[in-house]
Amino acid sequence: MAKDRSDSELDRELPDLPPELRALAELDRGRELEAAGNFEKAFQSYNNALNLDRRSAEAYVRRGHIFLRAGDINRAMGDLSQALRLDPDLAPAYNYMGLILASTGRPTAAFLEYAKAIELDPTAIEPYLNRGRLYVEQEDLDSALGDLDSALAIDPQNAELYLGRARIHMMLGNTARATADLEQVLSVAQEEALVLAAKQMLALIR
């Protein structure tokens, strides 16, 4: 877990650095805090980064993600739009835009955002996973399977992806393939919730 440094500690560590470098330090600190689940302090660090450098596209993306998690769609959209004005090649911004558009009933536009995210960073799993979920909502299960297959080719130890693909196989009536994926979940999962979900689904099949 990331060490939770205070603002004053960070100031002491970076006494005479230019604002742009201090902004990068704040951005790094925010990412650490966000990864540790401390979203409030991560948000503060991203604010600090932007106060130091208003052209930090990644800080806008990260803060936009925090807004999105909090359900503040308008502010999330504002930050992500600003990030893309500064850097049109930021794949995560398109992914988060896709989430916003999907959640506000604009699936066609969301698909375009996910496709752009994947084009810019074909190794990122989240756009495949999010687009796959949207395909399921749109009842295009074959396309959803394709996206989960692509994601698993990138990260073959991801239990959440196996669980998602198993659900789709069950919807299609492919119980043998669903069973194989659920057994993979039991083999690689670290989270008890995923293990429990896989066991419950296997019980339905058997």
Read off the CATH number of the domain in which 128 is found. 1.25.40.10
Same domain, 95 and 138: yes
Instruction: In whole angstroms, give the CA distance from residue 12 to residue 32.
Output: 19
Confidence of residue 13 (pLDDT cuts 50, 70, 90): low
Residue 5 lies in a domain: no
A 10 A CB-CB count for 53 gives 19
Same domain, 75 and 96: no
Last residue of a domain, which of 148, 170, 191? 148
pLDDT of residue 8: 45
* Residue closest to 43 by CA, chosen among 72, 81, 13, 86: 72
Same domain, 21 and 76: yes
pLDDT of residue 11: 53
pLDDT of residue 187: 96
Is 201's pLDDT higher than 60? Answer: yes
Same domain, 108 and 165: no
Same domain, 83 and 29: yes
The pLDDT tens digits of the residues spanning 116-165 come to 999 999 999 999 999 999 999 999 999 999 999 999 999 999 999 999 99
Is 5's pLDDT higher than 90? Answer: no
What would the DSSP string read from start to end of 12-50? HHSSS--HHHHHHHHHHHHHHHHHTT-HHHHHHHHHHHH
* Contacts with 53 (C-beta within 8 Å, 6 or more apart), sequence order: 19, 20, 23, 59
Last residue of a domain, which of 148, 171, 197? 148
Confidence of residue 206 (pLDDT cuts 50, 70, 90): confident
List the domain range (segments joined by +) for residue 15.
10-87
The pLDDT tens digits of the residues spanning 176-195 come to 999 999 999 999 999 999 99
Same domain, 53 and 94: no
CB 168 within 8 A of CB 152: no
pLDDT of residue 10: 54
Instruction: In whole angstroms, give the CA distance from residue 79 to residue 152.
Output: 30
Same domain, 182 and 206: yes
Task: For 177-187, give one letter per residue: b (16+ CB within 10 A) or e.
Answer: bbbebbebbee
Last residue of a domain, which of 62, 87, 112? 87
pLDDT of residue 14: 54
The pLDDT tens digits of the residues spanning 51-90 come to 999 999 999 999 999 999 999 999 999 999 999 999 999 9
pTM, two decimals, is: 0.87
pLDDT of residue 1: 40
Same domain, 17 and 79: yes
The pLDDT tens digits of the residues spanning 99-110 come to 999 999 999 999
Instruction: In whole angstroms, give the CA distance from residue 53 to residue 70.
Output: 24
Same domain, 40 and 98: no
- Long-range contacts of range 63-69, CB-CB < 8 Å, 24 or more positions apart? 64/93, 64/96, 65/34, 65/92, 65/96, 66/34, 66/39, 66/42, 68/96, 68/99, 68/100, 69/39
What is the number of alpha carbons within 13 Å of residue 177 lying toward its C-beta? 13
Domains contained in the chain, number: 3
Which amino acid is residue 100, in one-letter code? Answer: I
